[in-house]
Amino acid sequence: MDVFEQLLANNKVWAAKKVAEDKDFFKRLQNQQAPKFLWIGCSDSRVPANEITNTEPGEIFVHRNVANMVVHTDMNLLTVLEYAVKILKVEHVLVVGHYGCGGVKAAMTNQNFGIINPWLKHIKDVYRLHRDEIDALDSEDKQVDRLIELNVQEQVMNLAKTITIQEAWAKEQRPHLHGWVYGLKDGLINPVFDMAPGTHIDPIYEFDV
């Protein structure tokens, strides 16, 4: 059996198991989704949203990219965010990084990654903002892991700078924004930053809503 055929075989086993446990499982999810969470995570295969939070299909709306970035020219991210906040009315948006993130590590080098360079530039910007704190740490691993935490914090603040979040905060006092970092070594999530609805940011980023 080819590796991709294994996936299809696994899928049949999984679907049968779901129905055996709960015969209406797929029927309930067929016509609607009502997730309370939007997850903006790293594409890293070791950080799957549902698995590490022990949740089921239907519970988390997911967007993933390299190093869990919130980039204001990224129409993919902005569209997912708008749909999750305005239509699905999620209550929480989670930016989930992970220690040992390869995207963040790459951004801390001077290596040329070609077409990936512009994406990593956004992470380099976070490093530049926090250079003194990061450079003061005494090992490369600690520096990378601190940048990972600070990057999550900056991406949460980038969410607060979007019109989608500012309108939802003004009109519906929702959603709460969270910055989390997942540990590959122990499977545990470290909450590092959060912003309640209505939290003020630097006034230059606040729109008239």
Q: Which residues are catalytic?
A: 42, 44, 46, 98, 101
3-class SS at 170? Answer: helix
Whichever of 41 and 175 has its CB closer to Co ion, that residue is 41
Give me the residues that bind Co ion (CB under 5 A), please: 42, 44, 101, 103
Residue appearing with tokens 């939802």: 168
Whichever of 44 and 145 has its CB closer to Co ion, that residue is 44
Residue 69 CB, shortest distance to Co ion, in Å, is 10
Amino acid at 86: K
Whichever of 35 and 103 has its CB closer to Co ion, that residue is 103
Taking the CA atoms of 110, 111, 117 and 122 in sequence, report the sign of the dihedral they define.
negative
* Residue 146: how many other CB atoms lie within 10 Å: 17
Residue 65 CB, shortest distance to Co ion, in Å, is 9
State CA 160 to chain mean position distance. 14
Residue 107 CB, shortest distance to Co ion, in Å, is 11
Taking the CA atoms of 29, 31, 35 and 39 in sequence, report the sign of the dihedral they define.
positive
